Amino acid sequence: MQNEPLVKVDVDETEDTEWNDILRQHGVIPQRPPSPTAQLEEALEEALAKQHENRLEGLDFSDLEELEDEEDEEFLDIYRRKRMAEIQKLQEKSKFGQVFHINKPEYNKEITECSLGSKEKEDDGVYVFVHMSLESKMQSRILSSLFDQAARKFPQIKFVDIPANRAIENYPENNCPTLIVYYRGQVLKNLVTLLELGGNDTSITDLENLMVKVGAVDEKDERLAINADDDEAREERANRYTRKGIKSGITGKFNLGVGRDSDDDDFFD
């Protein structure tokens, strides 16, 4: 008896049937791809859990005290110890606190070598802001004043002033002030005059924005002028950690239609 000819049967691999499950088990048809909806829901759940876990990040001690009735005491204590460790680490680096006035022979030691930080720690570089100054220039006097303010405010950063004509012989006066940022022996940024910061209207906020841009200061640092604490700001921060705030924050994470600010990309051009 001859074998009957095989009949080709078309199978819709996307169907959720018992027969398709059997075929998938035997490798006849591929496994169904994961549902995009399920993937999105899983990503949302993970993001919500992570944001809830980190909901106390950035709060100061007074903020933590206000949450004592809402949060578990042991959980708050963990964050208190974490904040204390962060403050202690910052204090260890806070060894400058003033503007250092130097001459050319001291340049390498006081600036380039200093920016290298500790050889034992890879992440222990020092940000050094250098002002090549000319006292007769208004913008140079403005930058000198801003350096004085910033040096006291951010003692973990080294601020150095050197007369331009002592740093480089015959340095053009029109290039003053020149601001150079060093980190770990490398020049991260240099500005010729204050035109890029705000010209004659340059403020401490403008200088702090530069410090954030180059990574010298965290954008959440409470010492920044833009983060100056007041009752309204404290209330706004507290509201961020309500469940509504968490959900709205997550929604932003999946807003694929929002692009980046082109001004940020152009900063270092």
Which domains are seen in the chain, by residue range? Answer: 96-227 (3.40.30.10)
Residue 151 is predicted with a pLDDT of 95
CB count in 10 Å sphere of residue 193: 18
- Cut 0.85: pTM above it: no
CB count in 10 Å sphere of residue 252: 8
Is the dihedral angle over the CA atoms 157, 163, 168, 173 positive or is it negative? positive
Tokens of 245: 């705030």
Residue 236 is predicted with a pLDDT of 60
User: Crossing angle, helix 36-53 and helix 243-253, to 10 degrees?
Assistant: 130
* Positions of the chain with pLDDT lower than 50, given as ranges: 55-56, 61, 64, 69-71, 231, 241-269
pLDDT digits (tens, 9 = 90+) for 126-146: 999 999 999 999 999 999 999
- Look up residue 111 and give its DSSP letter: I
Is the dihedral angle over the CA atoms 139, 219, 107, 180 positive or is it negative? negative
In the sheet with 158-163, reading across from the earlier edge strand, the strands are 99-101, 158-163, 127-133, 178-183, 186-192
* Contacts for 163 with CB less than 8 Å, ≥ 6 apart: 132, 133, 134, 135
Residue 255 is predicted with a pLDDT of 41
